[in-house]
Structure 1
Amino acid sequence: MRNTTRFALSLIAGSLALSAQAAETKPVAVVNGVAIPQNRLEFIVKQISEGGAKDSPEIRGKIREQMIVEELAAQEAVKQGLDKAPDMQVEMEIYKQKALARAFIMQYRKTHPISDADLKKEYDKMKEQMKQAQGDKEYHSRHILVDKEEEAKEILAQLKKGKKFDDLAKEKSKDPGSKTNGGDLGWAAPGNFVKEFSDVMVKLAKGQINPAPVKSQFGYHIIKLEDVREVQGPSFEEVKPNLQQKLQGEQIGKLIDDLKAKAKVE
């Protein structure tokens, strides 16, 4: 009985293995007797998944239909002898070359990953460059922009009498980008403003309004400094994907340069 049971179990296990193998090798479709292999569909699904699309039965159904259409068209092309045309032979060689080159690059990236240490080093370098370009502080300011100096002086007089800065900005300012927000310019480095503006802004204390109108190419500004803080650049996690892409690009560029240097090109 025990031997019989073992034999029966082995038959069941074998049947299950064969069924699984058959399921894996079952074609996507058979078109005029030509099987479209499952691995071809899986390859396309993998490609679109890497591009951000989600695998789903609907996606797979659309891919299957497209593969059937392409198979039908390809069969007709072969019937007409188009696969033997010189241009088609060249095109197929080009596609093969591109596919091999892409596979080589992908394999190199897998075997030469960019480390977090390298990414953080690049991040620190980026922050230092930002600091040098924009300074180590950023300012939260408001302004009221008018055309004439006399009008600016009148607004300053109203401010001294207790009128609210944001109310006057909404009423008087000609800057459409900040007017509706009470003249609020948000947080920015001095380099983001014209020199006449930034030179005055950086000398103000928190909450202070410049005592005289500031003239620039845009007109006359009345500036109020709300606050000052250390530069708040993007976090490492925010820029990590971009840094990785940048370093990978440099890595592949060096690889290609090395291959060119070793190659004999006539």
Structure 2
Amino acid sequence: MTIRLARPSLALLLGLGLLAGCQVQTDNAKTSSASTASSASASPTVATVNGEVITQADLEAYRKMRAGQMPNVNLSNKALVEELVDMRLLEQAAVKEGMADKPQVKAQVEQSRANILIQALLRDKFGSQKYSDAELKKQYDQLAAQASQREYKASHILLKTEAEAKKVIEQLNKGANFAELAKKDSIAPSAPKGGELGWFTAQTMVAPFSQAVEKLKKGEYTKTPVHTRFGWHVILLQDTRKTNPPPFDQVKSRIRAMLTQQAIQKYVQDLRDKAKIKIDTPAPAANTTGTTPPAVSTASGK
């Protein structure tokens, strides 16, 4: 049973990791002495780099991030602090070289800050969301009913013309072997396998093909050629089966994640409904010069 989330981009926000231990700065990466003193008083100092403090809280956040990136590598406190020192030195060098004043870098820093704030907000509001087994089972039953469908196992012989297809059907009517005819006459990629397509659902095939298969009984082939954009088909239905969804316990965690995603989506929609939103035409990207930009659109609320 496949569970689809409404907005993958929002689901992705739940999984955003803390960005590589770099301290996000919003004032063009200049650290004031007041903020440094405040950080030091809030958490013990583990290192000082050119007057800038690295605290125990910085170390713990970095340790967590590194554990997520490399769960099988266990670094000592000393090694982690040394990495933080190197990173702080590189950060200071970047500021000295004017990297923080570059428009593109400013935008990336602001985006990083936004991602971390969004992650913190969603974790605070939805990270401890609880659902009873009854709620999860109710959702499971609805999804299971939708997921349960019939699958077909069939073979086909694809030909260029209707006349050729009719000739194949005449041979089948006289007792010819379907697989042998497919290997000899079919122009489909499945010809070397005797025309076998394996198991599929009606939704995965073009409409004329699916409709013809659904009308067949097990062991029957189409008595008239079936026309699709690929050519003319003669189809043999080998078997059918009904798919069963996986057990409830196997997908419970995915259903919980889906319900949480739905709650996030509702929260975002509520924010949109209360907001005044105006979307202007963005400038064309550098590699899309000459393309027609999207039309100006405005939105208020929804």
TM-score relative to the length of structure 1: 0.63
Letter in 2 for 1:47: M
Q: Which consecutive residues of structure 2, in runs of 5 or more, have no partner in the other structure?
A: 1-43, 276-302
Partner of residue 42, structure 1: 60
Letter in 1 for 2:61: F
Of Structure 1 and Structure 2, the greater helix share is in 1
Q: Indicate conservation of the 8 Å contact 1:45/1:55, yes or no.
A: no
How far apart, CA to CA, are the structure 2 residues paired with 1:99 and 1:254?
Answer: 21
Q: Does 1:103 align with 2:116?
A: no
How far apart, CA to CA, are the structure 2 residues paired with 1:219 and 1:92?
Answer: 55
Letter in 2 for 1:149: E
Tell me the matched-pair count.
232
What is the aligned counterpart of 2:150 among 137, 147, 151?
137
Identical-residue share of aligned pairs (%): 35
How far apart, CA to CA, are the structure 2 residues paired with 1:44 and 1:78?
Answer: 21
The change in CA–CA distance for 1:160 and 1:117 in structure 2 (over 3 A counts) is same
The change in CA–CA distance for 1:91 and 1:194 in structure 2 (over 3 A counts) is closer
Structure 1 segments of 4+ aligned residues over 6 angstroms from their partners: 58-63, 77-83, 87-97, 259-263
The change in CA–CA distance for 1:185 and 1:240 in structure 2 (over 3 A counts) is farther
- 3-state SS in 2 of match to 1:126: helix
How far apart, CA to CA, are the structure 1 residues paired with 2:110 and 2:162?
Answer: 72
Q: Does 1:126 align with 2:143?
A: yes
Partner of residue 219, structure 2: 207
Using the TM superposition, give the Cα deviation of residue 36 of structure 1 relative to its aligned residue in structure 2, in angstroms: 4.0
How far apart, CA to CA, are the structure 1 residues paired with 2:92 and 2:205?
Answer: 65
Q: Which consecutive residues of structure 1, in runs of 5 or more, have no partner in the other structure?
A: 1-24
Q: Indicate conservation of the 8 Å contact 2:67/2:73, yes or no.
A: no
Using the TM superposition, give the Cα deviation of residue 225 of structure 1 relative to its aligned residue in structure 2, in angstroms: 0.5
Partner of residue 237, structure 2: 225
Using the TM superposition, give the Cα deviation of residue 244 of structure 1 relative to its aligned residue in structure 2, in angstroms: 3.7
Q: Where does 1:71-220 land on structure 2 (aligned, <5 Å)?
A: 71-76=88-93, 99-130=116-147, 136-160=149-173, 162-176=175-189, 178-220=190-232
More contact order relative to length (CA 8 Å, sep ≥ 6): 2
TM-score relative to the length of structure 2: 0.57
- 3-state SS in 2 of match to 1:43: helix
How far apart, CA to CA, are the structure 2 residues paired with 1:225 and 1:112?
Answer: 48
